[in-house]
A and B are shown apart, each in its own frame.
Chain A
Amino acid sequence: MPSNKSVSDAPIAQFTNCRLLRGRRLQREDLWVREGKILNPEKLFFDEKGSADVQLDCKGCILAPGFIDVQINGGFGVDFSLATDDFRSGIDLVAQKILSHGVTSFCPTLVTSPPSVYHQILPQISVRNGGAHGAGILGAHLEGPFISKEKKGAHPEHCIRTFEENGFQDLLATYGSLDCIRIVTLAPEIKRSSEVIQELTKRGICVSLGHSVANLSQAEEAVQHGATFITHLFNAMLPFHHRDPGIVGLLTSDKIPAGRRVFYGMISDGIHTNPAALRIAHRAHPKGMVLVTDAIAGMGLAPGRHTLGQQVVEIDGLNTYIAGTKTLSGSVATMDTCVRHFLEATGCSVETALEAASLHPAQLLGIEDRKGTLNYDSDADFLMLDDSLHVQATYIAGEEVWRQDALGM
């Protein structure tokens, strides 16, 4: 049918025979895309008298917004905390490879490192749109070095710092530049954290609490100053105690400012948290769940030894430990595995599992007007999934950037 578009001459694609995740549920609707954005077909019909140029049959697949991974330390042999000569091509490689996991946007994460590493690496990270070359980069996630020594996890103790002396200036000096920083994880019990949190929040940077021994009131104060995220809930923080729930207590705290929501990242690979703990968190605060991989360089590679920043880690199946210890250090799970495991462990609906990996991270970063949903005028970053949530194809800006090979390779 000839199309008569008065607004734009760009071709219009109509994805039919699919179930869309829209309005919090799966609906039998077609997805219309033009110029990399999701189009409102009713407006097209009545205002522009337009119709589709191309129709693609999705064969009954689920169409979901692309996954957003806000904590990923590397993968496929690439370590984002290692300053190498070919750092840029390393990040490009990971961005390209994670398309097959359904990730269309991510925040490359740096663990606690010396200032020289930040000064070398951060200028090489730029916010950019995704495409056939790989997933989009939303900005860096700096997990450290302003964390607690008692809860360092796999982070190198000699690089841990505080900003007690000069507050925000110390942080600036450590990182070098704040361009392209999207999330900072810090321990709120460090003196002058309130002012640092306020300064970061003022600049649109998301502050996350983690690797900390803060109690609940310290955590609540941090939230009141602007913190909105918890880095890998349960891990690297005080355990829940019924008289002082610690950071975990933020999930049900009544001191959260009105209109604000606290999100929490969870690595649902079946190792970092017991499924029962995953369920407790999900049931206590389902709208705050953000699935992350916390993947390290060894993700996507064979078992063995790999680097993670200044440390050496050992991979054995899905477990990754600091070499020679039983300290967990990141994961090798992929985002789609996390989504499937989350679905299975909590028995939640498919919509909830998908939202935890798309809508909630977008809400956390304040970008849900263009990412994380299939609403009209959003970026057309989406996935075709089968009923068991295996990724069949990945699309960025309406273009297919990855497809499951028929041979399953």
Chain B
Amino acid sequence: MLTLPQESVCSPSAAQPLDVPMLRPPEAASPRACAEPPAARRRPLLARCFRIASARRGGGSAAAFRSAVLGVCRGFILLYKLFAAIMRLVILEDYDQASEWAAKYICNRIIQFKPTQGRYFTLGLPTGSTPLGCYKKLIEYHKNGDLSFKYVKTFNMDEYVGLPRNHPESYHSYMWNNFFKHIDIDPNNAHILDGNAPDLQVECDAFEKKIEEAGGIDLFVGGIGPDGHIAFNEPGSSLSSRTRLKTLAMDTILANAKYFDGDLSKVPTMALTVGVGTVMDAREVMILITGAHKAFALYKAIEEGVNHMWTVSAFQQHPRTIFVCDEDATLELRVKTVKYFKGLMHVHNKLVDPLYSMKEN
């Protein structure tokens, strides 16, 4: 794994650091470029283009100037692509590979952001069986010393109402056992809705405020229900909803029964959840969808229109969404869709390769 180079090369005026994922121009992405002495990477883009152009052309300042201008134009086009809305469907072979891809992406995003005291990376987090593999991989990167959550703030999507916080099926327990206890996050920065708060609406409003105070969410990671819901925004939820109390749909209760010994009467019927609008406010959204049982929901989410009966479909209108799925989850998509996005995998893979590390080289 390589550490992040000193300066983001793609920014012609490095006035403010780009905190969006970038497709690196070929010059910078190659290991050869990263092996250059540090001084070379600090030179402005224009001068560098001049130098490369001169080296190629072997002299002739007019030709060099043309090449330099072309290089700058390439940079602007890239910039446009970067700031333009983008939807990715990343298809991996199986659950493990999908989990790993997602974890690598999150890892790279955090590291490229260079979070510090006073400038935290904010992450929205899901629960359920889908993200478990991703959490395991993130823990692995942390234990290897490649990733730290010291300057990361997290906001979970939802929590059951009325379930004691230390109940083994509460989302507090889930997050503690599957993630928080293995990493170095500051407990003050791990936010989960309190389903036992005395006033639930006040709790929801306070949560929204906390997100706002944290500067909004940089990357919201979510899953999808078999009924196409995001968080607990059940079919029929308003697509501009905010954090609130929701009654769970029967599909959701049935899907969750497996965590309560198959006894439907033990499954909580209400939950606090971030709204569709809350997640739409995030600067970037990543939805994890694995397994054949989610295939129909994925089809409805991306091949049909935006519809409040399939609330994940709202993200068709989000400027920056990535759907990460495995082969089984694509079973209800058109062959054409799947082939198109699979064909883009070499582009998608540049987002996770090279995989960065916080270790010093």
Contacts and interface: CB of A to CB of B under 8 A. Distances in A.
Interface of A: 1, 4, 30, 41-46, 48-51
A45 B180 contact: yes
A1 B173 contact: no
17 contacts: A1-B150, A4-B188, A42-B166, A42-B172, A42-B173, A42-B176, A42-B177, A42-B181, A43-B166, A45-B181, A45-B187, A45-B190, A46-B176, A46-B187, A46-B192, A51-B186, A51-B187
Contacts of A50: 187
B186 to A, nearest CB: 6
A275 B309 CA distance: 69
Nearest to A51: B187
B283 interface: no
B165 A46 contact: yes
Closest 5 CB pairs of A and B: A49-B187, A42-B176, A45-B187, A49-B188, A46-B172
B150 to A, nearest CB: 7
B327 interface: no
Contacts of B184: 1
A41 B165 CA distance: 13
Nearest to A29: B181
Contacts of A49: 186-188
B33 to A, nearest CB: 36
A405 to B, nearest CB: 31
A173 B180 CA distance: 61
A49 B180 CA distance: 12
Interface string B178-208: 0011001011101010000000000000000
A43 B170 CA distance: 13
A4 B186 CA distance: 10
A142 to B, nearest CB: 43
Interface in B20-42: none
A49 B181 CA distance: 12
A48 B186 CA distance: 12
Contacts of A43: 166
B100 to A, nearest CB: 22
A350 B123 CA distance: 42
Contacts of B181: 30, 41-42, 45
A50 B188 CA distance: 8
B312 to A, nearest CB: 29
A48 B187 CA distance: 9
Contacts of A48: 187
Contacts of B190: 45
Nearest to B184: A1
Residue in B150, B176, B180, B187 with the greatest tally of chain A CB atoms within 10 Å? B187
A4 B172 CA distance: 19
Residue in A30, A42, A44, A49 with the greatest tally of chain B CB atoms within 10 Å? A42
B323 to A, nearest CB: 32
Given A1-B184, A43-B166, A46-B192, 5 more contacts: A1-B186, A42-B166, A42-B173, A44-B187, A46-B187
B151 to A, nearest CB: 11
Contacts of B165: 46
B359 to A, nearest CB: 19
A51 B150 CA distance: 12
A45 B176 contact: yes
Contacts of B177: 42
A45 B177 CA distance: 12
Contacts of A41: 176, 181
A400 to B, nearest CB: 24
A3 to B, nearest CB: 9
A43 B172 CA distance: 10
A48 B172 CA distance: 14
B73 to A, nearest CB: 47
Contacts of B186: 1, 49, 51
A43 to B, nearest CB: 7
Contacts of B172: 42, 46
Nearest to A41: B181
B37 to A, nearest CB: 36
A45 B187 CA distance: 6
A30 B166 CA distance: 18
B289 to A, nearest CB: 29
A1 B181 CA distance: 14
A1 B150 CA distance: 8
A1 B173 CA distance: 22
Contacts of A44: 187
Contacts of A1: 150, 184, 186
Nearest to B190: A45
Residue in B150, B166, B177, B184 with the greatest tally of chain A CB atoms within 10 Å? B166
A41 B172 CA distance: 12
Nearest to A2: B186
A1 B186 CA distance: 7
Nearest to A43: B166
A87 B166 CA distance: 49
Residue in A43, A44, A46 with the greatest tally of chain B CB atoms within 10 Å? A46
Nearest to B187: A49
A347 to B, nearest CB: 32
